[in-house]
Amino acid sequence: MPAEEPMLRARGLTKTFGRGRLEVCAVDAVDLAIAPGEVVALVGQSGSGKSTLGRLLLRLLDPTAGRIEFDGREVTGLRGAGRRRYWRAVQAVFQDPFAAFHQYRRVGATLAAARRLLAPADRDVADPGAALAAVGLDPDRTAAKRPHELSGGQLQRAMIARALMLRPRLLIADEATSMLDASVRVTVLNLLADLRRDRDLSVLFVTHDLGQAYYLADRILVMHRGRIVESGPAERVVADPEHDYTRSLLADVPKLHHG
């Protein structure tokens, strides 16, 4: 882990849904930190609370309790222009790339609209063509296509390009490879690793797959029933897991089993 102060920090972050007897605690007093240039994997099965935690950090959901800090400043209650500025620095890539694009609008138009929304008249923002080239796509040909004319892997890379236009410092990738074929997953994982290296980009990689987490991340956080039950360097978590839940995840990835 880089020896720097955290870029993003959560303290006691909690999110409950419902009321009374129907109340469910999806995220339960979570602490985490992500340093500049670090890749952290948040691993857990469906229902563990990992996607809810990601949306809290993105400020798409309001926490029930706790706080979020970015560069040492609290961002928990951001609204309006303040939240839009935060989204310049913290961008997201979600699970379903097809849902992220207007199906009847060309990809280039979607990227241009995102740029106008979050960074109007800002010269420090990359143009759509440069962003597409940065993720290995032909700028002109890709921009002219509609989403259904691209493969899942191409569209996922286009979604990463949309995030990169704003020159973010942190990318939250929520199950960004889960809908892709195995060979395409590796391409996207390698792209994220290259972006981290070339742009000093921090990444929170949210996944159910401990194998992918090990492949990409410096540190792994294991989430179960709303809590972080294990954390540590990726090598240590995979080679010597401390929690039974981590061991159960590891059993689903035979090639990584060190026992």
Domain boundaries, the chain: 8-256
Measure the CA–CA gap between 73 and 70, rounded to whole angstroms.
5
18-60 tens-digit pLDDT: 887 789 999 999 999 999 999 999 999 999 999 999 999 999 9
pLDDT for 259 beyond 50: no
Q: Kindly report the backbone phi and psi dihedral angles of residue 139, in degrees, each rounded to the nearest multiple of 5, phi listed first.
A: -60, -50
pTM comes to 0.90
Measure the CA–CA gap between 77 and 187, rounded to whole angstroms.
37
Residue whose structure tokens are 């010597």? 240
Average pLDDT over residues 118-146: 82
Residue 45 is predicted with a pLDDT of: 93
Q: Kindly report the backbone phi and psi dihedral angles of residue 125, in degrees, each rounded to the nearest multiple of 5, phi listed first.
A: -100, 135
pLDDT: which is higher, 110 or 220: 220
The band of 183, judged by pLDDT with boundaries at 50, 70 and 90, is confident
The band of 123, judged by pLDDT with boundaries at 50, 70 and 90, is low
Superfamily of domain 8-256: P-loop containing nucleotide triphosphate hydrolases (3.40.50.300)
- What is Dmax (Cα atoms) for the chain? 56
Residue 124 is predicted with a pLDDT of: 59
151-168 tens-digit pLDDT: 888 999 999 998 888 889
Identify the bridge partners of residue 2 per DSSP, sorted by sequence position: none
Q: Give the neighbor-by-neighbor strand order of the sheet with 8-17.
A: 24-34, 8-17, 65-70, 73-74
SS3 per residue for the chain: CCCCCCCEEEEEEEEEECCHHHCEEEEEEEEEEECCCCEEEEECCCCCCHHHHHHHHCCCCCCCEEEEEECCEECCCCCHHHHHHHHHHEEEECCCHHHHCCCCCCHHHHHHHHHHHHCCCCCCCCCHHHHHHHCCCCHHHHHCCCHHHCCHHHHHHHHHHHHHCCCCCEEEEECCCCCCCHHHHHHHHHHHHHHHHHHCCEEEEEECCHHHHHHHCCEEEEEECCEEEEEEEHHHHHHCCCCHHHHHHHHCCHHHCCC
Residue 153 is predicted with a pLDDT of: 87
Residue 2 is predicted with a pLDDT of: 46
pLDDT: which is higher, 114 or 90: 90
